[in-house]
Structure 1
């Protein structure tokens, strides 16, 4: 096992970075893994392709250990959006989802609905982005076949109650966009039928990395509409001049051969998270999120995200008076604090690599803001 301090020491991001919900700077082991395989690929000695080919199985095993799905029901994807599109184009019936989800999810649903006309979206309008079991239950009908939800809402940081949602939807498919929670929130992923995520945020594996994991039922019920050579029996060998069927299970949801170096980056990151354990990471992040809230309170900056640890992961959202937003943004810039400013809010997101220096920089920025504001 790896200690949380050893895990945190594996990152080299600069102090003042509080934007992990946008992009998590890759770890030193991930960077080293990439450099080693790039060098191998550049030299291309006889037999070197073996190490590259091995990454497909490695990444499936690493993701399997992280989310609790069998390795043969996990398939690498270059991003969350591709996993969502595979899922929604393969789905039929009525799907319940929030209109306030990150656009990748609603866009995948509306594109599939308008193109194939076999998917019927039912839209929820949750208060502050909170998709609760009660809200889901209100929108279920006898025609509902699936419910889709983000594990963590990207605007508010609200942590979905997957157990409660599973209880109210029964045997309908539960589809979870896990990108804002995987690796930082201790959630029962195996309760879902479909889980997809990119690795560029909390897993800190960089862009071009992701996966799609399916339950046995989802693998049976979803139609692999977009299947290329990698998702067909040709990938297992055979003649190229004859029609071939798609592969069984999650493997069918592939278009082309993936980048083995991207697979290695995701595998390295997932292995590191598993080695330290998500509960340890979640506890460290929860402590840091509480520090963010305390600093905001000291500066009298309103916190719009939940203060309840059971309802949040690593995201804390500030909502100053509209006339003060520019002043707060300038204070962050002047003190080297990186965050996401959107509409009327400032989203701070923290991870294990945020040390005391980072929090000192944030405190200085908030103090500067307070001295510049006239009440």
Structure 2
């Protein structure tokens, strides 16, 4: 089944935009949600707050559908980093395994809390972590694995189910899902803790993120960053008050309700179109782009278990000049580590592959 026209018609990004791993332009529906909330807050703040609180409840229910969890297992925080810092703040007394190439948002929380008695990061030197690699690094000190569901540089999709099976019930699988959720079906049931901002593949803009804490591990994750918004009777005179049940215990304060409403709108669009349908369209588009790149003589790097990210470069040509040529042709990409990262979405037009081929094909010199 193809992605529905109702979904595709919601977006207005430039036709050559191939940089969703950096930022996903929001939908018209998300833009309307933000604009309506701002106008309502300006004109009738009490009514606006009541409505936004209801929309937050609806957004939590939608997020629970996307993550295959109960609504109370989801909290809204400000960013992916915020959720990962909350996870790091809640664990101590052992080791957390972290792949060496992890995006820094999933590195610094563990480094910072190591200095405060948290888990000690131990690095895994592997380009693509799998069950066999993980098994080689396990010992009695390991309490958790922190991993990206999809690697931001390579596009490798981690086998979350297999990783959790190796970890077992006594160790936590902490997942940074920002490069995958909304773009590719993930084995989210395997994640004990999951963090995902809305600004990339979910296309919700900045300001709100999902933090999933499964009931099965809730009692092992202390509310190290939990503030007044995460406790019972926060306005009482006796502190600290007991934490609330569920993921909300890890909230430092109230979330940006406008951003939460936008995230809820974005998630509803994904659910209505079908995450599987979106993923299949992304896969087709990426395959066409890579075929076009190969035709132009480019070297292509795409992982076996891929999502929506791949890398290309032209042998013998300065990557910066190739990147500039793509930009001059109206194609937006990211240059990192000598490779050009391509990250299309379901809304990327089919003729973008032809534009890519034309932009990087070496021009033959003509002589009079």
Aligned length: 363
- Equivalent position SS for 1:371: coil
Q: Contact 2:279–2:346 at 8 Å: present in 1 too?
A: no
Find the aligned partners of 1:318 and 1:359 in 2 and give their Cα distance: 13
Find the aligned partners of 1:348 and 1:256 in 2 and give their Cα distance: 37
User: Which residue in 1 is equivalent to 2:279?
Assistant: 282
What's the C-alpha RMSD, in Å, of the aligned pairs? 1.9
Decide which of 251, 272, 275 is 1:254's aligned counterpart.
Answer: 251
Q: Contact 1:197–1:212 at 8 Å: present in 2 too?
A: yes
Find the aligned partners of 2:207 and 2:45 in 1 and give their Cα distance: 25
- Equivalent position SS for 1:47: helix
Q: Contact 1:15–1:354 at 8 Å: present in 2 too?
A: yes
- Equivalent position SS for 1:356: coil
TM-score (norm 2): 0.94
- Equivalent position SS for 1:29: helix
User: Which residue in 1 is equivalent to 2:360?
Assistant: 366
Q: Contact 1:73–1:213 at 8 Å: present in 2 too?
A: yes
Q: Does 1:304 align with 2:301?
A: yes
User: Which residue in 2 is equivalent to 1:294?
Assistant: 291
Q: Contact 1:11–1:353 at 8 Å: present in 2 too?
A: yes
TM-superposed deviation, 1:322 = 6.4
Q: Which blocks of at least 5 consecutive residues in structure 2 are unaligned?
A: none
Find the aligned partners of 1:147 and 1:220 in 2 and give their Cα distance: 18
Relative to 1, partners in 2 of residues 1:114 and 1:319: Cα closer, same or farther, differing over 3 Å? farther
User: Which residue in 2 is equivalent to 1:144?
Assistant: 142
Q: Contact 2:295–2:357 at 8 Å: present in 1 too?
A: no
Q: Contact 2:289–2:352 at 8 Å: present in 1 too?
A: no
- Structure 1 stretches of 4+ moved >4 Å: 240-243
TM-superposed deviation, 1:46 = 5.1
User: Which residue in 1 is equivalent to 2:157?
Assistant: 159
User: Which residue in 1 is equivalent to 2:48?
Assistant: 48
TM-superposed deviation, 1:239 = 2.9
Q: Does 1:319 align with 2:313?
A: yes
Q: Does 1:19 align with 2:16?
A: no
Say which structure is richer in helix: 1
Q: Contact 1:208–1:262 at 8 Å: present in 2 too?
A: yes
- Equivalent position SS for 2:120: strand
Find the aligned partners of 1:240 and 1:317 in 2 and give their Cα distance: 57
Find the aligned partners of 1:46 and 1:183 in 2 and give their Cα distance: 33
- Equivalent position SS for 1:49: helix
Aligned ranges for residues 319-338 of structure 1 at < 5 Å? 319-321=313-315, 323-338=317-332
